[in-house]
Amino acid sequence: MSVTDDDEAKKAAEEEKAKKIAAAKAKAAAKKKAEEKAKPWPYPAKHAEPERTEDLDALREQIGDKLLAVGDMSGKPVAYVAPEAAWMALKFAREDLEFDHLPFVSGADYPDEGIMEVHWQLYAYPRAGRDGKDLAIKVHAPREEPHVPSVVDLWTGAEWHEREAYDLLGIHFDGHRNLRRIFMPDGWRGHPLRKDYDRKEQYIGMSRSGEDVVYDTPGPYRW
C-alpha cells in the first residue's frame, strides 16, 4: 500500500464521519423546528386558566360557541371571540356586564399565522357591592383586510383608539364614520406596526445610512 492510498482511506473515513455529524445536526435542527411548530399558538394567553370566570361564563351564555377560547392575561380574564360575534360580545360587555371604561383598542400582527389580532381592553369601575373588574376581548381577523366592528357607539373614546389602530396596523373598523390616519401624515402608504412593514431607506431626502439623497427620488411620503 502506498502513502496516497492511506491518505485516501483516511480522507474517506473523515468524510464519512463529517457526513454523519452533519446528518445528526440536521436531524436535531429539524426536530427543534418541529417542536417549535407544534407549540400551540396563536393564543399566548390560552394556557393559563382565568381566575375570575363569572364574566366569561355570562359571555359564553350570550354568544355560545362563538366564544372560541378563554384565557388569563396575567390576572385579567381574556375572551377570544369569533369575528362575527364581536359586536354582540362587546355590546353585551358594555351594557349587561357594566364594563364602562375602555382603556384602549389595539392589535397585534401575527404574519406567520396570517392573523391580525384585535384587542379590546375593558374595565368596569367599582360600584356599590363589587370591586372593579377587568376583561379583555380578542378577535382574530384575517391579516390582509381585517374588518371588525367599531365601538364608537358604545364608548365615545374608541374613536381615536380605532383611528390609531387603523393608522398603525391597518385594521378597518366598520361603522367608524371618520376612519383616517391620526399619527402618520395623510398620504402615508403602509401601516408601520405590521411586521412586514418596509422601513423605507429614505424620507424626503434624509437617508438612513447617512448618504446624500436627491430630493425627487420617490419616497414613502407623497402628498
Partner 1 sequence: MALPEHYQAAPKGTSYQLLEEGGQKYMELNMGPQHPSTHGVLRLKLQLDGEVVVKCEPVLGYLHRSKEKIAELGQWIKFMPITDRMDYLTGIYNNWAYCRAMEEMHEIEVPERAEYIRVIAGELNRLTSHYLFLGTFGLDLGAIAPFFYAFSDREKVLGLLEELTGARITFTFMRFGGVKWDVPPGWLEKVSTLIDELEEHHAEMEDLLKKNDIVNMRLRGVGVLTEQEAVSLGCTGPVLRGSGKRFDLRKDDPYGVYPKFNFDIPVHNQGDCYARYRVRMEEMKETYRIIRQAIAQFPDEGPVIAKGFEGTRILRIKPPHKESYGRVESSKGELGFWLVSDNKPNPYRLKARGHSFSNLHALPTMVEGASIADTVVSLGSLDIVLGDIDR
Q: In the complex, which residues of this chain contact partner 1 (CB under 8 A)?
A: 41, 44-45, 47-48, 73-76, 78, 100-104, 106, 108-109, 119, 121, 125-126, 131-132, 134, 136, 155-161, 164, 168, 181-187, 192-193, 197, 223
- Name the amino acid, one letter, at 174: D
Q: Which is nearer to partner 1, 92 or 99 (CB)?
A: 99
Q: How far is the CB of 98 from partner 1 (least distance, A)?
A: 11
Q: Which is nearer to partner 1, 5 or 186 (CB)?
A: 186
Q: Which is nearer to partner 1, 56 or 108 (CB)?
A: 108
Q: How far is the CB of 133 from partner 1 (least distance, A)?
A: 10
Q: Which is nearer to partner 1, 26 or 48 (CB)?
A: 48
For the record, the C-alpha cell of 185 comes out as 401624515
Q: How far is the CB of 122 from partner 1 (least distance, A)?
A: 10
Assign residue 21 a region: left if phi > 0, alpha if psi is -120 to 50, beta otherwise? alpha
Q: Which is nearer to partner 1, 111 or 142 (CB)?
A: 111
Q: How far is the CB of 83 from partner 1 (least distance, A)?
A: 20
Q: Which is nearer to partner 1, 55 or 134 (CB)?
A: 134
Is residue 44 classed as helix, strand or coil in its secondary structure? coil
- Name the amino acid, one letter, at 68: L
What's the distance, Cα to Cα, between the start and end of the chain in Å? 81
Q: How far is the CB of 164 from partner 1 (least distance, A)?
A: 8
SS3 per residue for 14-78: HHHHHHHHHHHHHHHHHHHHHHHHHCCCCCCCCCCCCCCCHHHHHHHHHHHHHEEEEEEECCEEE
In angstroms, the CA 67 to CA 62 distance is 9
State the sign of the Cα–Cα–Cα–Cα dihedral 90, 95, 98, 101.
positive
Q: How far is the CB of 94 from partner 1 (least distance, A)?
A: 10
Q: Which residues of 110-124 are buried (b: 16+ CB within 10 A; e: fewer)?
A: beeeebbbbbbbbbb
